[in-house]
Structure 1
Amino acid sequence: MLREVAAGLVEAGIAAVAPTFVADECRVSSVRKIGVVRIAGYDVWIRPRTPVRRLFAMLGYARAGSAIWEDEDFGFAADDDLVPALAHAFERQAARALVVGPLRGYVTREDVLPLVRGRWRIGDQLTRRGGQPLPVEVSFDDYVEDIAENQLVLTAAARLLRLPGVPDDVVSRLRRVVRVLDGVTMIPVGAPVPVVRTDRRNARYSAVLPLASLVLSGASIEQRAGSHIGAGFLDDMWSVFGDFVTASLREAFRPYGGELVAQYSSTLDIGGTVKIAPDLVWLVDGEVRACIDVKYKVEKHGQDPNADLYQMAAYCRRFGLGEGHLVYAAGGVGSGPVDVLQGPSLIRTALDLSEPCHTVAEALQVLSLRVAGA
């Protein structure tokens, strides 16, 4: 079974696996995901080094521009695992949203009826009915529960029910959510997830919709024929960290004008053949004033990640900058400058992700203050 689990980890792009000299033992490295996945009948849990509550706080900050999910009342269980905590919070917010019944809204439908209802589609009547008066090709607005908001909540609840590790008491409450939304259409697997903006009409869904989108947009894994991989929910920790830092820095740079651009595309050489794309650049009047790279994964044994320093030094040379900035998740790389001989100063900022989101965001505000020279 160990061999099948190892093969599943590699197949799903979760980690690199290498055999050791000890029987039934493998070395797992380059772990790129967090969450849970069922492989060859085993539930494989991948826990982040960041506390789960802080992880959700970062997700909320990146998605809503504030630590919306750091609120103690939001419902994240005191759990070390991603899926149980997510399921608990989602069920709690779904129950609050549906306490007075599902939201209803107008949906435009097209149908063929024995009488005119709504708008008569004369063009379709002529082409499809050959000028016959009945039945009538019509379109009309129907006030129903089968709207995007309910589809998101229902599909997320159903997805969570298929995942391993959801507590039994949460399972029973998720099933209640599914029953309340009976008659609502499920979003097919692989179909685009609707983007729903909250307003006064759907305000009571404002807390559950981001969670539903998170459930559906995570790197979800479904059973595939001929594979040892079953249901699972996985997310990229580097992406969570990068999105949080980007959202925080955009807010921090706002008072200084200009624009913070992600994945800025440029070239390193005169011929334009060597492509570069720094994680973030601060543009002012079309000029690159600062370059920032965000790194979640660090080198082993506390060694400085030299490749990151080489890369940033090249960026600074390309854009004529005296300073370059590297933002890390704390745990192996210290803060402080690395002064390159006859080159730029490379400033490393290590963020302690065990701290509350607002504390981490304050550290990024200090970085923006240094960059802007204010």
Structure 2
Amino acid sequence: MPREVAAGLVAARIADVSPTFVADEYRVSGVRKVGVARIAGHDVWIQPKTPVRRLFAMLGYARSGSAIWEDEDFGFAADEDLVPALAHAFERQASRALAGGALRGYVTRDNALPLVRGRWRIGDQLTRRGGQPLPVEVSFDDYVEDIAENQLVLTAAIRLLRLPGVPADVVGRLRRVVRVLDGVTIIPVGAPVAIVRPDRRNARYSAVLSLASLVLSGASIEQRAGSLVGAGFLVDMWSVFEDFVTAALREAFRPYGGELVAQYASTLDVEGTVKIAPDLVWLVDGEVRACIDVKYKVEKYGQYPNADLYQMAAYCRRFGLTDGLLVYAAGASAVEGLQLVHGPMIRQRALNLGRTEIELAGELSSLLSEYLRL
């Protein structure tokens, strides 16, 4: 591949790239993202090993705690590539949400008008107008389409139209979505994205809003990677896996009480200079009772990765635990244990990502019951 593409992969922190002895030939390793990005004028596709349908189902479960994207209605199974699948699903849900017209809502506006409307802002009238009676500084509620829900949908549709690999038939339907939302404000690249709370008023937007949020989070590559990298949609696979496991275990821990905390901040030394943050800890009355680390890598049967063992041993020693648990994305299915000399028992378990998310959640629940009995 061209040198500029190799540099872009490194600049965007997509993968590690090292040159070989052959011109324009590179060794790519440590791939952290999947999706597509336009780098130095080239479209670079990074295929997930996990089927696209499974990937979106994991994303949906992690965001809601249920298999909201397993439904055939989303159509993820129709495409094998990430971007076409997402574009199809988003366009379908956007068209359904907008079938009865764009949602409207009340937006509070501050304005200067030639008459009193809504609430008169007396303080602003005195400071800005110097006692002049007109125009009048007022605040009022306007019933408009330019609300957060429509802004999210419109911005996501425009970002998808910029991506390489969006099917031609979907492009036409996405443009219709943009036309329906004409007059709605587009969220600028890099600007904070509003968090929309689901309620009865926006219930018909629930599916498309979750997809819009995914589009905007995955498209953020374009503002971070400098001039070499253009539009793209990239997903961190380790984050998808970790978020899914966290959501499933949080549900599994519920009957046991306590609280499952992600990225629990602590220190390893007395002075507090060595920071640690285990992926998951189970707190009961403020005390750490269990520690779990999630690894998006393959656990090879009988071969324990030293760095993972060192890390978990340090966590267990810090919290006074007699055992810890490592959860891998693939490998041997049985719970394996390694008793450290004068240290804790470190157990590991690999998940079968070929299963559905409900089956995986059940597997994690069984794993937890087995782990807590040991």
Could you say which TM-score interval applies, normalised by the shorter chain?
over 0.9
CA-to-partner distance for each residue in 1:169-203, whole Å, 9 max, x for gaps? 11111000000000000011111111001111110
Q: CA RMSD in A?
A: 2.1
Aligned residue number for residue 130 of structure 1: 130
Aligned residue number for residue 55 of structure 1: 55
Matching of residue 155 in structure 1 with residue 155 in structure 2 = yes
Q: CA 1:255–1:233 in structure 2 vs 1: closer, same or farther (change >3 Å)?
A: same
Matching of residue 313 in structure 1 with residue 313 in structure 2 = yes
Q: CA 1:19–1:225 in structure 2 vs 1: closer, same or farther (change >3 Å)?
A: closer
Aligned residue number for residue 228 of structure 1: 228
Residues 179-190 of structure 1 correspond to what in structure 2 (within 5 A)? 179-190=179-190
Corresponding residue SS for 2:278: coil
Q: Is the 8 A contact 1:303 1:333 kept in 2?
A: no
Aligned residue number for residue 241 of structure 1: 241
Bigger Cα displacement from structure 2, 220-229 vs 350-359: 220-229
- Compute the TM-score of the two structures, normalised by the length of structure 2: 0.95
Distance in 2 between residues matched to 1:108 and 1:327, nearest whole Å: 48
Aligned residue number for residue 64 of structure 1: 64
Q: Is the 8 A contact 2:39 2:229 kept in 1?
A: yes
Aligned residue number for residue 30 of structure 1: 30
Distance in 2 between residues matched to 1:142 and 1:340, nearest whole Å: 66
Corresponding residue SS for 2:360: helix
CA-to-partner distance for each residue in 1:277-313, whole Å, 9 max, x for gaps? 2111101111111000000034789843111012112
Bigger Cα displacement from structure 2, 232-241 vs 22-31: 22-31
CA-to-partner distance for each residue in 1:324-366, whole Å, 9 max, x for gaps? 1000101489742222233222111101112100111111101
Corresponding residue SS for 1:297: strand
Matched letter for residue 50 of structure 2 = T
Distance in 2 between residues matched to 1:278 and 1:309, nearest whole Å: 13
Distance in 2 between residues matched to 1:316 and 1:334, nearest whole Å: 22
Residues 172-321 of structure 1 correspond to what in structure 2 (within 5 A)? 172-222=172-222, 227-298=227-298, 303-321=303-321
Distance in 1 between residues matched to 2:19 and 2:300, nearest whole Å: 19
Q: Is the 8 A contact 1:298 1:305 kept in 2?
A: no
Distance in 2 between residues matched to 1:224 and 1:50, nearest whole Å: 26
Q: Is the 8 A contact 2:57 2:68 kept in 1?
A: yes
Distance in 2 between residues matched to 1:360 and 1:338, nearest whole Å: 24
Q: Is the 8 A contact 1:323 1:345 kept in 2?
A: yes
Corresponding residue SS for 1:160: helix
Structure 1: stretches of 5+ with no match in the other structure: none
Bigger Cα displacement from structure 2, 15-24 vs 55-64: 15-24
- Compute the TM-score of the two structures, normalised by the length of structure 1: 0.95
Structure 2: stretches of 5+ with no match in the other structure: none
Distance in 1 between residues matched to 2:224 and 2:49, nearest whole Å: 30
| Aligned-pair CA distance for 1:221 | 2.9
Distance in 1 between residues matched to 2:273 and 2:225, nearest whole Å: 42
Q: Is the 8 A contact 1:304 1:333 kept in 2?
A: no
Matched letter for residue 38 of structure 1 = R
Matched letter for residue 100 of structure 1 = G
Distance in 2 between residues matched to 1:41 and 1:134, nearest whole Å: 55
Aligned residue number for residue 5 of structure 2: 5
Distance in 1 between residues matched to 2:16 and 2:333, nearest whole Å: 23
Corresponding residue SS for 1:24: coil
| Aligned-pair CA distance for 1:26 | 1.1
Corresponding residue SS for 2:220: strand
| Aligned-pair CA distance for 1:224 | 8.8
* Equivalent residues, number: 374
Distance in 1 between residues matched to 2:66 and 2:120, nearest whole Å: 47
Identity %, equivalent residues = 79
Distance in 1 between residues matched to 2:230 and 2:268, nearest whole Å: 44
Aligned residue number for residue 106 of structure 1: 106
Aligned residue number for residue 164 of structure 1: 164
Matched letter for residue 288 of structure 2 = V
Q: CA 1:273–1:178 in structure 2 vs 1: closer, same or farther (change >3 Å)?
A: same
